[in-house]
Structure 1
């Protein structure tokens, strides 16, 4: 039984690596968080009720409950613009946003509306119209306003969990092909009032090479599954693991357990970065040794 589990894990990891047209270098993928979630994600793909392509054509056909967001996009835009004027769409104030911490270095900013729970108190107060719309759509598990200023970028990455699909609704965008997201080698340029949906476990990246700012509504929408047990597994992982990544906008908002620990983990991360600067060969040798020890431990038990 132990070898069956090991084989299933390795087969899932290989599938995730070769899925799609674009992939990380093998060395990076080996240490990527999506590798450790590979067995669960393969189940999500296998029993998904919606296509498992990089982009989901016509999101409204698969998720008709999302249509009020597109219908009321000017109201949502007005609240996002007001937040930006108040400088509330911003990077995290400390090391309390493990999921997006690396994005802040290159200009990306956010304001959380909800994260696998009810609306943040700050969002309910400052964005009553948007949070009311989201409250009426239970399939939207997480939502935020995100900003990508001129010159901003997100480096190629894939998200760790396939239990959701990513919806982007253009609010205040450059309406320019120089501001785009690339998902598995296909580009999409945001436009005001228009939306796109994609599978965030494909490698994706974004740039704003225009002269104007970009603000969108960013939502994680629960992936519908073919069977009740698969939907229950999806929700179990979301409720007990993904929800622990909640990050506050300001004092009074919820901080998840993972983000409470992140500030301590980041101290180790800074030491690892310092080691990489001194000796890349030693840094990678230690990382691969750690992976080998984990695999050896799994086989031993």
Structure 2
């Protein structure tokens, strides 16, 4: 039975690696979080009630989201007010593990909600948007995100396939030089228009224009064909994904994962310093750790 589980894990990891047209290098994929989540993600794909293509059509598959787009100008007004207050920003501390690497390349955010009720700061500063989100239960997480001129997000894939990503353009360059690329397909943001994509495909973004980009960024619960799959998805979201909650300001919730992230980040800084001194030693320990985990799984 142990070897059956090992085989299923490896088969799922191989599927995730070769899924789509764009792939990470094998060395990076071995250490990518999507590899460790592969068995659960393959189950999510198999039970999905909507297509598992890189892009989806929100109007066709999620009609309940229509009020967000219909009232996008009101949502934009609150986002622009936040920007004037300099509240759309990088994390003040090491308490946003999910997006920590994005901040180094100019990306900024203001959380509206994260697999829970609205952040207190969001309810106070964005009453219209948070009320709209409250009326659409399939929206599990939401934030305003900013991508200033010259900023970029390197190719990556999100770890969990239980949701789909919605982007609604609020203040955008309306220029093809500002785009997101999902599995080799590009979409350029436009004011008042939206797109939806599967964030477990490799994607990256760039603002090569001279103008700022602000969007409403939402995680939408993936609809499932079976009640047990829907229950599993919600259990994982509540017990694991919700632990990644990050605050905008004092008084907002910080999830358990982010409470301990600063300690792991200190270790990460030491590993980066080792890489600068000796790449050979760094990669030896890196792959030795992976081999040890695999050996432990096989041994157990």
Distance 1:280 1:222 in 2: 41
Structure 1 residue 143 and structure 2 residue 172: aligned?
no
Q: Report the Cα offset of residue 140 of structure 1.
A: 0.3
Give SS of 1:106's match.
coil
- The total of aligned residue pairs comes to 300
Deviation at 1:232, TM superposition (A): 0.6
Aligned to 1:178: 177
Does 1:72 find its partner at 2:71? yes
Deviations 1:150-203 (A, max 9, x none): 000000000000000000000000000000000000000000000000000000
- 2:243 is paired with a residue whose SS is helix
What is the match of residue 9 of structure 1?
Answer: 9
Which residue in the other structure is 2:213 paired with? Answer: 214
Q: Distance in 1 between matches of 2:281 and 2:45?
A: 37
Q: Report whether the alignment pairs 1:98 with 2:105.
A: no
Q: CA deviation at 1:16?
A: 0.2
Give the whole-Å Cα distance in 1 for the aligned partners of 2:227 and 2:281: 47
1:158 aligns with 2:157: yes
Aligned equivalent of 2:168: 169
Q: 1:113 matched to which residue of 2?
A: 112
**TM-score normalised by length of structure 1:** 0.99
Please list every run of 5 or more consecutive structure 1 residues that lacks an aligned counterpart in the other structure: none
- Map 1:1-301 to 2 at 5 A: 1-56=1-56, 58-301=57-300
CA–CA distance in structure 2, aligned partners of residues 240 and 26 of structure 1: 30
Offset at residue 280 of structure 1 (A): 1.3
Gaps of 5+ in 2: none
| 1:213 shift after superposition | 0.2
| Whole-angstrom CA distance in 2 between matches of 1:32 and 1:280 | 19
1 CA distance for matches of 2:105 and 2:42?
A: 31
Matched residue SS, 1:167: strand
Matched residue SS, 1:272: helix
SS of alignment partner, residue 196 of structure 2: strand
CA–CA distance in 1 between the matches of 2:224 and 2:277? 47
Summarize deviations over 1:28-80 as a string: whole Å, max 9, x none.
00000000000000000011000000001x21211111000000000000000
Any idea what SS the aligned residue of 1:187 has?
strand
- Give SS of 2:167's match: strand
Note the C-alpha offset of 1:300: 1.0
Q: Distance in 2 between matches of 1:284 and 1:203?
A: 24
Distance, in Å, in 1 between the alignment partners of 2:154 and 2:114 is 23
1:279 CA drift (Å): 1.3
The TM-score with structure 2 as length reference comes to 0.99
The two structures, once aligned, show a CA RMSD in angstroms of: 0.5
2:87 aligned counterpart, secondary structure: coil
Stretches (4+) displaced over 2 A = none
**1 CA distance for matches of 2:296 and 2:11?**
18
Render the CA deviation track for 1:97-133: whole Å, top value 9, x for unaligned: 0000000000000000000000000000000000000
